[in-house]
A and B are shown apart, each in its own frame.
Chain A
Amino acid sequence: MSHQFRSRRFRGTLLVAVLVTGMLLGGCQVQPWVKPYEREHLADPIMSFDRDPISSGYLEHVFEVREGSRGASGSVGGGCGCN
């Protein structure tokens, strides 16, 4: 029964992930709708998904130790888009 769950939900979530990535990769002719010179707010450190890695790493560890679940907690990108 748990094997069934893994197959269906896993496939479903993976399909969404593939579709989203595929759409983005496929839409190569799309011009960036937020221009590099409009990224002032995105470049602010408070808009970073992970401002202080040493601290978020520690807190992730605190939760992982007492909970049965883990993973999928971080993100990359955003920021100023410079260079």
Chain B
Amino acid sequence: MRQSSWRMRWIPAIAFALIAVVQADVLPDDRSDILYHRFEGGGITVQGPSVLIRKKVGDSVSFSYQYYLDMISSASIDVVSQASPYKEKRVQQNFGVDYLHGNTLYSAGYISSIEPDYNSKTAFLNVSQSMFGDLTTVNFGYTQGSDAVGRADRGVVQPFRADADRKNYAVGLSQVLTRNTLLGLNFEVDSSQGYLHSPYRSVRYVDPTVLRGYSYQPERYPDTRTSNAASAQLKYYLPVHAALDGSYRFFGDTWGIRASTYQGGYTQTLFTNWTLDASVRYYTQTHANFYSDLFPYANAQNFLARDRELAQFHSKTFEFGASYEFHPSWRYLQFIEKGSLNLDIERMFIDYEDFRDVLDTQYKAGQEPLYTLDATVGQFFISFWY
């Protein structure tokens, strides 16, 4: 038995990033990016390449394609406590098209994510309208997804099959406040139903009949989940070729989770070609109302969860990035207008407030130390504009 928390159950964030980046008065720039990403922490290493290609065709249409690969090798606390380490691959592909008509940008896309035991298909539509001399941009988006949940034990696919569907509505506003200030507001409603948990994951309950003091039973989640998220972002230009930004996001759902995300960052351009970034992110969340690290007995509630994603915790993330812009002069690269080399490192520290480290067996059940996670995320990517 094993589990993977690298799921595409919820909105493909990459889809949202593709929607969110555009201005409504011009098509997005033609560009390509090649990225190598790596995550290490909590016994998991996830790494792989990603490629994004975007090209205009004519004056009004732009196509984009993204390929993303996750190669997962996991010996995380969840896996090791109940099974043995495993390796897995996930492939994601995004297809998108943008159509510009006057000051309105229409976008549509399709995203597919495939793993040995999980298939996710998502389609989205977005309309962006710019007004007031392009000082204001409003966008409306709709996303619909359907997931097929399967099961594979030690790489062998089992006959298990369940489905989950979701719908997401998003509204966004971007407003120029002054010649140096930009405001962004976003609001989203997300609704899922179906098989929303994991066929591998379990919860634990006090069991005096066994030596270690607790036993496991499969988790049970509600079959619906509705959530709202609202955020505000501000960007301010400093006369030293720098920008300050800050954002706050609030999240709440029908599972009882309330989360707040605070982010602040600074970007500085140096010597014309260099851009440096630094940012800090602070995140807190309360646990789902059917979550517990240790239930008092078997079947203590209708719904049971011990997924640390739904636990109560806070996390701090520190990011630093450097980017170097170049203009190729080599004859064969003349079609490339501009390029950049980028390196980005993040250090993430998660402190769980009600999830315990069961691998520390010297403690009685329910008295193990609270789990903490220390992770490093790295990205190296090259971008070309043509």
**Which A residues form the contact surface with B (CB < 8 A)?**
2-3, 5-6, 9-10, 13-14, 17, 20-21, 24-25, 30-36, 38-42, 44, 46-47, 49-50, 52-79, 81-83
Contact = CB atoms under 8 A, between A and B. Distances in A.
Given A41-B180, A77-B184, A52 B11 contact: no
A71 B190 contact: yes
Contacts of A50: 17, 20-21
Nearest to A27: B132
Contact of A81 (B14, B21, B133): B133
| Interface of B (DSSP majority class) | strand
A82 B27 CA distance: 11
B315 to A, nearest CB: 8
Interface stretch (B79-87, B114-122, B136-144, B356-364): B136-144
B34 to A, nearest CB: 9
Nearest to B25: A83
Nearest to B184: A75
Interface stretch (B152-160, B165-173, B294-302, B328-336): B165-173
Contact of B237 (A9, A25, A33, A42): A42
A78 B182 contact: yes
A69 B25 contact: no
B237 A44 contact: yes
A74 B23 contact: no
Contacts of B52: 53-54
B50 to A, nearest CB: 6
Nearest to B174: A77
Given A6-B252, A17-B171, 14 more contacts: A21-B171, A47-B237, A50-B17, A52-B383, A53-B21, A65-B309, A66-B5, A66-B308, A73-B13, A73-B17, A73-B249, A76-B21, A77-B136, A83-B25
6 contacts: A44-B237, A54-B383, A68-B259, A69-B259, A71-B11, A75-B172
B3 interface: no
Contacts of A66: 5, 308-309, 350, 373
B379 A58 contact: yes
A72 B66 contact: no
Contact of A53 (B10, B18, B170, B176): B18
Contacts of A20: 173, 185
A38 B176 CA distance: 11
Given A52-B342, A55-B342, A68 B257 contact: yes
Contacts of A76: 20-24, 128, 137, 139, 172, 174, 184
Contacts, number: 260
A69 to B, nearest CB: 4
B251 A46 contact: no
Contacts of B135: 32-34, 81
Contacts of A32: 132-135
A21 B139 CA distance: 11
Given A20-B185, A24-B131, A55-B381, A79 B14 contact: no
A46 B188 contact: no
A72 B229 contact: yes
B367 interface: no
Given A59-B346, A72-B249, A83 B26 contact: yes
Nearest to B311: A68
B207 to A, nearest CB: 27
A2 B310 contact: no
Contact of B269 (A2, A46, A61, A73): A46
Interface in B229-268: 229-231, 233, 235, 237, 241-243, 249, 251-257, 259, 261, 267
Given A32-B133, A78-B235, A68 B23 contact: no
A30 to B, nearest CB: 7
A69 B251 contact: yes
A51 to B, nearest CB: 8
Contact of B17 (A74, A78, A82): A74
- Among A36, A47, A61, A72, the one with the most B-chain Cβ atoms within 10 Å of its Cβ is A72
Interface string B336-378: 0000001010100010000000000000000000000100010
A6 B258 CA distance: 12
